[in-house]
A = this chain, B = another copy of it.
């Protein structure tokens, strides 16, 4: 049905009703009348832009390739006659559609990358550089943000106990995650919608990881199709899965992940229902197109303010339970890691169900406020079932901001730690930003290793920490299986 001649603005405007609904996206006119009712972000936003150019709002969260991938070719009407389009009010709010993330500050006015000395500096820069909507979506957490802040603060309540007079000239920070070599016990936790931070979205994180040799976990809600991400860089990739109410959609994603060479699936288990993130919901979402994510997830808008987080979580299957691990095993050959385990009880259960790994964490405090700070859960495992670390790989994320935080988590049994938000903030600076952040973390971690008198990760153990302030706050299980308890607590 594509027209040969460019479509003029006058012709476009004739199709500005729900029944007759054309939109321009990046110079191409599409007929979205049939699609609108299926649009996960709701038909309203499509109808709002009927007969107009919707590029700006589209580009703010979608990869350019998405619309071609998702729609049938028959819906493509043709090219727009750019000369006929005036600067209409519909695009006035975002003049630079190619750089949605720099809405607040132009690139040239940002703090220079080399002046950023820590993950905290990246956060501060992001608060200055990102649009209000992006900053709200990335930085927010559940309700009063108590868990978000405690995640980080609790690391500062454990003291290091350095051992002196060790030869620490040559050290190694190498380890393995599920058999894959990594240069540091660090990986990028899955984060949604990186395009809000940088027009190239998740690819900038992938490229940064590639240079530094650390794994990248790709979110179901990524801005870019996963193949676009995995093909752009050479590093270890993991796939994060929200189980879809439509199980076939999830199975399709798992197949794609395998085909893309991903090495494990991180199944999120700590968000069976949309979370309440007030800061996110306060920023009006009406100018942002809420659409299906490229990986096929289905989201719905609702009346609670339209926060991006709540909207995107709409397709998640709240019936998922322990029995579904069998289903997962049946549809993928990837190792399975449960993301969001928060008690020793569930960690033990995970071992019993034969999964390959655990990611201790609480979604960065984004799911349920006052859920237990992540490092306290790790300590709970050490005090109740220290032998568990011999049976399963345990990771942790939430609040890790310093090399000392990584060190402490590894001392308490973590095989590796994930960082999420800091990488979103670094992505704003492109691949160089991501690489710079990783090298900062590496320098801090190596410095910590040497100061602690350690030369490789096998030397890290709980006795290098003073956890006495926190260990009094740890629940003691009376029914942990004997073989996981270990002979005696090492703390």
Contacts and interface: CB of A to CB of B under 8 A. Distances in A.
A393 interface: no
A270 interface: yes
Grouping DSSP codes into helix (H, G, I), strand (E, B) and loop, the A interface class, with mixed when no group exceeds half, is: loop
A195 interface: no
Q: Name which of A118, A276, A278 has the most chain B CB atoms within 10 A of its CB.
A: A276
A155 B144 CA distance: 12
Given A276-B444, A320-B167, A156 B370 contact: yes
B447 A368 contact: yes
Contacts of A452: 368
Contacts of A275: 447, 451
A53 B161 CA distance: 48
B343 A451 contact: no
Given A274-B447, A450-B273, A472-B472, A370 B158 contact: yes
* Copies of chain A in the complex: 4
Contact of A168 (B169, B273, B338, B404): B273
A16 interface: no
B272 A450 contact: yes
Interface in A304-321: 304-305, 318-321
| Range for the number of chain A residues in contact with chain B | 35 or more
Interface string A272-314: 1111101001100000000000000000000011000000000
Interface in A258-277: 269-276
Nearest to A469: B473
A376 B159 CA distance: 10
Contacts of A278: 117-118
Given A156-B370, A164-B340, A370-B156, A318 B282 contact: no
A443 interface: yes
Nearest to A402: B143
B473 A144 contact: no
Interface of A: 115, 117-118, 143-144, 146, 155-156, 158-169, 269-276, 278, 281-282, 304-305, 318-322, 324-325, 338, 340-343, 345-346, 362, 367-373, 376, 402, 404, 443-444, 446-448, 450-453, 463, 466, 468-469, 472-475
Given A159-B373, A276-B443, 9 more contacts: A143-B404, A159-B370, A162-B270, A165-B325, A166-B272, A167-B321, A272-B451, A367-B451, A372-B466
28 contacts: A117-B278, A143-B444, A144-B156, A146-B156, A155-B370, A159-B373, A160-B370, A160-B371, A161-B371, A162-B342, A162-B371, A163-B345, A164-B340, A164-B341, A165-B324, A167-B319, A168-B318, A272-B450, A275-B447, A304-B443, A368-B404, A368-B447, A368-B451, A368-B452, A371-B451, A463-B475, A466-B473, A468-B475
A-B pairs with lowest CB-CB distance, top 8:
A164-B269, A273-B450, A368-B451, A159-B372, A167-B319, A169-B318, A165-B322, A169-B319
